[in-house]
Amino acid sequence: MRALQGLALLLLAQSAGELLVRALRLPLPGPVLGLGLVLALLAWAPARRLVAAPVEAAAEGLLAHLSLLFVPLGVGVIAHLGLLGGHALALALVVLVSTLAGLAVTGLVLQALWREPPPPLPPAEAAP
């Protein structure tokens, strides 16, 4: 029962996000805004007691069957293989460039975070 309540809450949040995106003409997907609404509910202590257990039950159920959610993606790729093949070079280039950009940014962030701290200042000598 908790899982159904959680799924209902997630679908309600998705619908609310979709409604807000369309009403306010926001440039982001409605489900993303809906997930933000769920996050806000979970961050708000009074609502957390009501929302956390059902959402957790729904999430566990969805994660247990996560591999099934990739079936429509695979079917879509196979169904549009000709279209993908026509743009194979462009797609490969986009994947390569975005991968290299991600690696470069990750490396730069890692270097910035792993810098050794400056050596400590020598103790000040006592004035005579």
Domain map of the chain by residue range? 1-64, 69-115
CA angle 16-22-26, nearest 5°?
Answer: 100
Mean pLDDT per block of 10 residues along the chain (128 residues) reads 94 96 95 95 92 94 91 91 91 97 95 80 68
**pTM over the 0.85 mark:** no
CA atoms of 12 and 5, how far apart (whole Å): 10
- pLDDT recorded at residue 128: 58
